[in-house]
């Protein structure tokens, strides 16, 4: 496949990524979303990233045993990471509501919050799915991918995303919610996503060299 076609698919995946991140903006402007609901949505995106990373591992040219061990390692790493941040998020939410800082997780309340975000969850899944198909499969990234690198790859993106979550928690706990704060929060998260996406896929694309006349 030519580098030009690879670049076109890469740019298209960036565009879809940005559009997916703009849906929470619509929620803020027209659906009266609050920052905690956005934080829960971004927290759940880690699971989406993990799911597609598992697919990436299974499509590598590694042995089946290496793939299985890689999937187990990824689930343990991202799972524990998500649990820690969920607990932190819920504690901050209780404190800001004037309650006690207790570690109490109510699955129904989490499912309810996520159910309100079904449209952006679908859009994020489509965005990551399109990147998986166009960049990883169609552009042939899977041929060069290694299981160990794939296990580590999501961490940079997840760390960046959870840094944004922590920033959001600080704003949520210390600053009164306002439209400008929510818009800034969404912008920072989108920017972090684009940078992480570019760092992940750019190395697989050979820049197109143009001749100087």
**Over its length of 213 residues, how does the chain's per-residue pLDDT go in tens digits?**
566 677 677 777 888 888 888 888 787 777 777 777 777 888 888 889 899 999 999 999 999 999 999 999 999 988 888 888 788 777 766 666 655 444 445 555 666 666 667 888 888 898 888 888 887 888 788 888 889 888 887 777 777 766 776 776 666 666 655 667 777 777 877 887 787 777 776 666 655 444 444
Residue 61 carries which DSSP code?
S
In sequence order, what are the residues at sequence separation of 6 or more whose Cβ sits closer than 8 angstroms to the Cβ of residue 45?
Answer: 124, 161
Q: Is residue 55 part of a domain?
A: yes
CA distance 88 to 165: 10
CA distance 172 to 96: 8
Q: Is residue 213 part of a domain?
A: no
Domain that holds residue 51: 3-204
CA distance 85 to 81: 6
Q: Is residue 212 part of a domain?
A: no
Q: Is residue 186 part of a domain?
A: yes
Q: Is residue 158 part of a domain?
A: yes
Structural domains counted in the chain = 1
Q: Is residue 36 part of a domain?
A: yes
Q: Is residue 211 part of a domain?
A: no
Q: Is residue 40 part of a domain?
A: yes
């Amino acid at each position: 496949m030519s580098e030009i076609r690879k670049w076109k698919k890469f740019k298209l995946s960036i565009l879809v990524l940005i559009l997916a991140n703009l849906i929470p903006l619509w929620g803020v402007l027209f659906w009266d979303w609050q920052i905690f609901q956005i934080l829960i949505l971004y927290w759940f995106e880690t699971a989406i990233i993990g799911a597609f990373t598992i697919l990436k591992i299974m499509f590598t040219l590694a042995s089946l045993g290496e793939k299985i061990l890689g999937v187990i390692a990824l689930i343990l790493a991202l799972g524990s990471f998500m649990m820690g941040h969920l607990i932190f998020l819920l504690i901050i939410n209780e404190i800001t509501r004037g309650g006690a800082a207790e570690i109490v997780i109510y699955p129904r309340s989490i499912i309810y919050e996520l159910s309100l975000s079904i449209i952006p969850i679908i859009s994020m899944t489509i965005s990551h799915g399109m990147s998986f198909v166009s960049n990883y499969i169609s552009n042939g990234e899977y041929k060069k991918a290694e299981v160990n690198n794939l296990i580590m790859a999501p961490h940079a993106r997840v760390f960046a995303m959870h840094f944004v979550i922590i920033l959001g928690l600080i704003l949520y706990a210390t600053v009164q919610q306002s439209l400008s704060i929510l818009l800034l929060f969404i912008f920072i998260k989108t920017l972090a996503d684009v940078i992480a996406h570019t760092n992940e896929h750019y190395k697989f694309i050979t820049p197109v060299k143009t001749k100087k006349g």
